[in-house]
Amino acid sequence: MPRAPRYKAALAALLAALPGLALAEKVAGATLPEDARRIGENRYQVERKYEDLLKFLRTTYPPAKYPRRPIADQPGVKAVHIENPEARPGSWEGLNVYELKGESRIFVLLKQQPR
């Protein structure tokens, strides 16, 4: 394939991906859905159902690379922790994803600087 068509194809792919990337929220390196709204320090409310939020996070952070574990054992509360095995100081160490009173939320845990 000549050089020009390869570059055109790569440029077209990049431009097609930009709208989705531009809409995503980044917090300490963690990608959150575009509908995430800040409600406190490192706390976000997401305007979608809990199952839909987990589906987005499964695509963004594959379970094979980002381990998950349940973190709630109460009736009416759904919660899971997603671990970042490559966390560096100042970046996200984990995400606590939960549903409380019908609202989906994410809490971004930051890896602390060594003292």
Check pLDDT > 90 for residue 73: no
When the pLDDT of each residue in the chain is averaged and rounded to a whole number, the result is 83
Q: Cβ-count burial of 6 within 10 angstroms (0-12 exposed, 13-18 middle, 19+ buried)?
A: exposed
Give residue 29's pLDDT. Answer: 92
Q: What is the pLDDT of residues 19-36, one digit of tens each?
A: 444 456 788 999 999 999
From residue 30, alpha-carbon distances to 37, 44, 49, 53 in Å are 14, 12, 20, 14
Please give the Cα distance from 23 to 20 (Å, whole number).
5
Give residue 72's pLDDT. Answer: 81
Delimit the domains of the chain by residue range: 25-110
Please give the Cα distance from 10 to 103 (Å, whole number).
39
3-class secondary structure, 90: coil
Give residue 2's pLDDT. Answer: 54
Range 96-105 average pLDDT: 92
